[in-house]
């Protein structure tokens, strides 16, 4: 455990930025908060829940994975030393789920290269960032249990720093970091965690929907939701655990070009459409069912770790779905069993 | 829209016609579905079984191009059964007797013969619409893209006034605009006969106001519409053209005619973000900025002006449209020295009464303002025509049914109707360069009814050839009973199958909108 005066945080970040590509929450004009390159002018600590999780740091919205020059193939993978400051616990958990999924049974060198070269600093939540937070239900927050190099607890004027790895510890050797009194620090931490846990209400519909999905849910639920879904894919794009991607080629000439992988979403018809034109998930209802069953029913035990399921309770899908089909609303509909639909 | 988007949620009845709402205005579509789940009645009037029709309490599938007859028939029933709003008609409108005389001829049986809609459904729709306390009409290009487009809109307005469904919350006549800022473009005077805010060029006082502001004498004659410009270019009356963000080689009817017209110009300038089919023909191409690269305002379908900020700078030498126009104007001898969109908006505020109170300072602090908004304190206007119509009394403008300009015959025995799908936008300039969207909808398909397909030995996904009097295109067939028999539906997104080679350039005489929604074609399988 280390201690850092909050007023020294910016200078510490500036130091870290000398040795790493530092990514942190920034406030852009006219007010949007996004994870972006550190700049003392735009960096903010009071950033709530950024609309986009930092998953793009590992699985960019689009990335070139190889190029072809005159018939010669060249892999493109990143090896920049990076540091992400300001992960929320839910995102740290979600990213770890995604990382396990992406590398568990295959060698995704593009993802893994970014993962291996990126240090992760979590900033624990002292309470819900808004009314859709439910990490206490999904066991993914408000404090990260693993998957960080450092975890920062904001105690007002001072920050307590939990060390999560050797690499993390080496970040805290500067003069700004001091050793706190262990007893006082652990009491303060315990109080912080207790208060934070208590402040984020449990959402019983999540657990209930997981139980309900152990047997098949009535198709009326999915038909109802499927008729409302506008297939924008926004829920998948804001989700820290969604990793669907597609690849496509851009030919520059007969022997020169590149291959790109880009975000995709299982909610799109073309995601499962076969070459013949046949689609095993021909309706939006079935595609929605598949997406939510992946989060709540068919997740892989190895991927989710200590968490409850394949959803980490960040609530972004409920925040941003323009037609209100986020995980919370889906769970409520499942629990209602299609009765009110 | 006379009313606002959120009012769909509180309507007792929504009548949707000529709009594939869930595909083209999905958030409005969802509001309608949500309202329907809570008990709002829904009438869909559309020849195709669009997905909203699956929710509808009543789906009227009129023959293409028979909208005036259908709505006259509905009004006939309303008047015959005494369901019209006598108080509204007396206090707010004029010309009721003339309307009555016309719609008297459109009895349900007569209308059934013209439209193919069963008389019983016409009567049911009339009763449902007239008896609802708050009923909204929503329409889109299925109504306007006809040689009778203006008549179609007038007829819908007659229907709303006849029943007093105007000027109150959750009522009104609500065109769902086909593009995110087409309302704003029209508001800013991108029309041949008006300055910004629909101020006529023919009115001397208005012209004098703009002449004073701009320090130049201004022409009092309306200019030409797009369709007229193309004919004038073909005849050699127009020598040069400057096209911005428009791709008429794909979007205008009878493409061969457009190609000849553009080729006949001495000089063509195209300003766009990609090298479109039209830009390829240009003498000079000016690279513009994309939506995410410029700051400005958009005015949406409910007249709401909203500000959007640039997320990234334009690439290389591309510039925002206003910067290009200012620079061009300055070179041409009329210096324009605006320094920002804020600066331009300040001029808009001074010259446009309906936008006078819509300032950037206010827009930055809220989710937009709906015009008319005449003063800096005015809260905006969610509902038009509340106590009186803009012109005073609302005039019933009765219209008689006129058939499509080109009706099917023995040789060209199908009606082709065109529109859009969710995944592609217009001529595909942007969406066809987007990998995911291209994966979702990679090529043109023509919808054909199973009975027609069987008769013509067309199987699903067969390559077919569609021909009109103007040309021929080939595409894949999609067999579906969403289209009526003897009707084909396809989109104009795909340059590989540029369907506007087929469409009829016949226009509405007032709005000059071409009849994209119906022309006569033949179809055959390519073996």
> φ and ψ at B42, to 5 degrees?
-130, 125
For an interface test with A, the pick among B5, B26, B27, B421 (most A C-beta atoms closer than 10 Å) comes out as B26
The average pLDDT across B135-147 equals: 97
- Which three-class secondary structure state does DSSP give residue A302? helix
Nearest CA in chain A to B436: A264
Residue contacts between A and B (CB atoms, under 8 Å): 43
Cβ contact, residue pair A268, B34, below 8 Å? no
Interface of chain B toward chain A, CB-CB under 8 angstroms: 22, 26-27, 29-30, 33-34, 37, 51, 54-55, 309, 364, 422, 435-436, 439-440, 460-461
Q: What does DSSP say about strands B414-419 and B519-525: parallel, antiparallel, or unpaired?
A: antiparallel
Q: Answer positive or negative: Cα dihedral of B406, B409, B411, B414.
A: positive
What pLDDT is recorded for position A228? 86
Which residues of chain B make contact with A29, given a CB cutoff of 8 A?
Answer: 309
Cβ contact, residue pair A270, B26, below 8 Å? no
Cβ contact, residue pair A268, B440, below 8 Å? yes
Global pTM reads 0.89
Within chain B, all domains assigned CATH 3.40.50.740 are found at 182-370
Instruction: Answer for the pair A28, A34: CB distance below 8 angstroms, yes or no.
Output: yes
Nearest CB among B435, B440, B460 relative to A269 is that of B440
Identify the CA nearest to A321 among candidates A283, A279, A292. Answer: A292
**pLDDT surpasses 90 at B118:** yes
Rounded CA-CA distance B470/B502 in Å is: 6
B182-370 has which fold?
A: Rossmann fold (3.40.50)
Cβ contact, residue pair A228, B55, below 8 Å? no
Nearest CB among A29, A233, A270 relative to B309 is that of A29
Rounded CA-CA distance B101/B88 in Å is: 19
B5-176 has which fold?
A: Dimethylsulfoxide Reductase; domain 2 (3.40.228)
B414-525 has which fold?
A: Barwin-like endoglucanases (2.40.40)
Instruction: Answer for the pair A335, A208: CB distance below 8 angstroms, yes or no.
Output: yes
The average pLDDT across A275-279 equals: 87
Q: How far is B323 from chain A (nearest CA, A)?
A: 21
Rounded percentage of chain A residues whose pLDDT exceeds 70: 99
Which residues of chain A make contact with B440, given a CB cutoff of 8 A?
Answer: 268-270
What pLDDT is recorded for position A227? 85
Which residues of chain B make contact with A30, given a CB cutoff of 8 A?
Answer: 309, 364
Residues 6+ apart with CB under 8 A from B81: B126, B127, B130
Angle between helix A327-336 and A284-296 (nearest 10): 100
Confidence of residue B223 (pLDDT cuts 50, 70, 90): very high
Q: Answer positive or negative: Cα dihedral of B145, B148, B150, B153.
A: negative
Over its C-alpha atoms, chain B yields an Rg (Å, rounded) of 24
Q: What does DSSP say about strands A256-263 and A245-253: parallel, antiparallel, or unpaired?
A: antiparallel
Residues 6+ apart with CB under 8 A from B212: none
Which residues of chain B make contact with A322, given a CB cutoff of 8 A?
Answer: 26-27, 30
- Token pair listed for B323: 């910067």
Q: How far is A247 from chain B (nearest CA, A)?
A: 9
The average pLDDT across A25-35 equals: 89
Which residues of chain B make contact with A230, given a CB cutoff of 8 A?
Answer: 22, 26-27, 29-30
Rounded CA-CA distance A295/B91 in Å is: 59
Cβ contact, residue pair A248, B51, below 8 Å? no
**pLDDT surpasses 80 at A29:** no
Among B249-253, B355-359, B473-477, where is mean pLDDT lowest?
B249-253
pLDDT, one tens digit per residue, over B14-23 is 999 999 999 9
CB atoms within 10 A of CB A203: 21
Within chain B, all domains assigned CATH 2.40.40.20 are found at 414-525
Residues 6+ apart with CB under 8 A from B113: none
Residues 6+ apart with CB under 8 A from A100: A302, A303, A305
Cβ-defined contacts of B282-288 (< 8 Å, 24+): B282/B243, B286/B324, B287/B314, B287/B316, B287/B317, B287/B318, B287/B319, B288/B244, B288/B245, B288/B314, B288/B318, B288/B319, B288/B320, B288/B321, B288/B324
Tell me which DSSP letter residue B45 carries: E
Q: How far is A276 from chain B (nearest CA, A)?
A: 10
Q: Answer positive or negative: Cα dihedral of B349, B354, B359, B360.
A: negative
- Alpha helices per DSSP H over B312-380: 321-331, 341-351, 360-364
What pLDDT is recorded for position A339? 58
The average pLDDT across B26-37 equals: 92
Domain residue spans in chain A?
2-60+80-201, 205-242+266-336
Nearest CA in chain B to A260: B435
């Amino acid at each position: 455990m280390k201690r850092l005066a909050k007023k020294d945080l910016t200078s510490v970040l500036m130091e870290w930025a000398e040795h790493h590509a530092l990514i942190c929450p920034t406030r852009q004009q006219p007010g949007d908060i996004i994870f972006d390159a550190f700049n003392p002018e735009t960096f903010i600590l009071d950033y709530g829940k950024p609309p986009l999780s930092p998953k793009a740091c590992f699985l960019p919205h689009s990335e070139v994975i190889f190029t072809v020059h005159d018939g010669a193939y060249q892999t493109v993978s990143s090896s920049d030393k990076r540091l992400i400051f300001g992960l929320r616990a839910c995102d740290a958990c979600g990213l770890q789920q995604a990382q396990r999924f992406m590398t568990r049974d295959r060698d995704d060198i593009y993802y893994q290269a970014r993962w291996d070269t990126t240090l992760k600093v979590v900033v624990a939540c002292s309470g819900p960032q808004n009314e859709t937070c439910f990490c206490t239900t999904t066991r993914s927050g408000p404090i990260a249990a693993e998957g960080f190099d450092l975890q920062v607890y904001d105690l007002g004027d001072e920050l307590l720093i939990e060390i999560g790895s050797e690499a993390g510890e080496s970040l805290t050797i500067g003069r700004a970091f001091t050793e706190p009194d262990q007893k006082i620090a652990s009491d303060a931490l315990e109080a912080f965690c207790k208060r934070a846990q208590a402040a984020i209400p449990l959402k019983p519909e999540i657990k209930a929907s997981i139980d309900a999905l152990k047997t098949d849910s009535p198709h009326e639920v999915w038909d109802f939701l499927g008729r409302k879904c506008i297939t924008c894919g926004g829920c998948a794009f804001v989700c820290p655990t969604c990793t669907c991607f597609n690849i496509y080629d851009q030919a520059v000439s007969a022997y020169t070009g590149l291959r790109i992988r880009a975000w995709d979403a299982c909610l799109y018809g073309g995601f499962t459409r076969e070459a013949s034109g046949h689609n095993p998930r021909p309706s939006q209802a079935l595609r929605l069912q598949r997406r939510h069953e992946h989060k709540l029913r068919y997740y892989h035990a190895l991927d989710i770790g200590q968490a409850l399921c394949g959803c980490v309770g960040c609530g972004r899908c409920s925040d941003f779905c323009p037609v209100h089909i986020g995980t919370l609303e889906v769970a409520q509909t499942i629990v209602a069993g299609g009765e009110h639909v | 829209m006379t009313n606002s988007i959120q009012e769909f949620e509180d309507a007792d009845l929504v009548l949707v016609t000529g709009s594939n709402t869930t595909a083209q205005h999905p958030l409005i579509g969802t509001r309608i579905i949500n309202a329907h789940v809570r008990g709002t009645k829904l009438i869909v009037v559309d020849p195709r079984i669009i997905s909203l029709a699956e929710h509808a309490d009543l789906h009227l599938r009129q023959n293409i191009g028979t909208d005036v007859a259908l709505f006259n028939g509905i009004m006939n029933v309303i008047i015959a059964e005494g369901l019209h709003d006598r108080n509204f008609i007396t206090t707010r409108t004029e010309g009721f007797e003339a309307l009555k005389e016309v719609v008297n001829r459109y009895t349900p049986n007569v209308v059934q013969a013209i439209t193919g809609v069963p008389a019983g459904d016409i009567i049911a729709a009339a009763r449902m619409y007239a008896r609802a306390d708050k009923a909204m009409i929503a329409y889109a290009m299925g109504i306007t893209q006809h040689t009778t487009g203006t008549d179609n809109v007038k007829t819908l307005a007659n229907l709303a006034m006849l029943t007093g469904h105007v000027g109150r919350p959750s009522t009104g006549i609500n065109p769902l605009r086909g593009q995110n800022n087409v309302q704003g473009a029209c508001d800013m005077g991108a029309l041949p006969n008006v300055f910004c805010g629909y101020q006529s060029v023919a009115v001397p006082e208005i012209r004098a106001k703009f002449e004073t502001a701009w320090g130049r004498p201004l022409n009092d004659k309306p200019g030409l519409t797009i369709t007229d410009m193309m004919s004038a270019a073909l005849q050699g009356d127009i020598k040069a053209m400057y096209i911005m963000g428009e791709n008429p080689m794909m979007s205008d009817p009878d493409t061969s005619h457009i190609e000849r017209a553009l080729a006949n110009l001495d000089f063509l300038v195209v300003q766009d973000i990609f090298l479109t089919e039209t830009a390829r023909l240009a003498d000079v191409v000016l690279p513009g900025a994309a939506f995410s690269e410029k700051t400005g305002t958009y005015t949406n379908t409910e007249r709401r002006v909203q500000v959007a900020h640039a997320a990234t700078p334009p690439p290389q030498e591309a510039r925002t449209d206003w910067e290009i126009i200012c620079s061009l104007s300055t070179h041409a001898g009329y210096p324009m020295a605006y320094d920002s969109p804020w600066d331009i908006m300040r001029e808009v505020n001074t010259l446009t009464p309906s936008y006078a109170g819509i300032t950037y300072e206010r827009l930055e602090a809220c989710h937009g303002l709906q015009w008319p908004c005449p003063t800096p304190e005015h809260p905006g206007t969610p509902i038009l025509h509340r106590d009186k119509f803009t012109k005073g009394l609302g005039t019933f403008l009765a219209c008689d049914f006129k058939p499509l300009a080109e009706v099917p015959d023995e040789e060209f025995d199908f009606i082709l109707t065109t529109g859009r799908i969710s995944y592609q936008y217009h001529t595909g300039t942007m969406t066809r360069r987007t990998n995911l969207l291209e994966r979702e909808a990679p090529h043109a398909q023509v919808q054909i009814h199973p009975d027609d397909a069987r008769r013509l030995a067309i199987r699903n996904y067969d390559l077919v050839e569609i021909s009109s009097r103007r040309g021929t295109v080939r595409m894949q067939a999609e067999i579906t009973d969403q289209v009526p028999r003897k009707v084909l539906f396809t989109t104009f997104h795909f340059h590989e199958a540029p369907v506007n080679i087929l469409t009829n350039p016949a226009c509405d005489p007032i709005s000059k909108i071409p009849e994209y929604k119906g022309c006569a074609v033949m179809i055959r399988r390519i073996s």
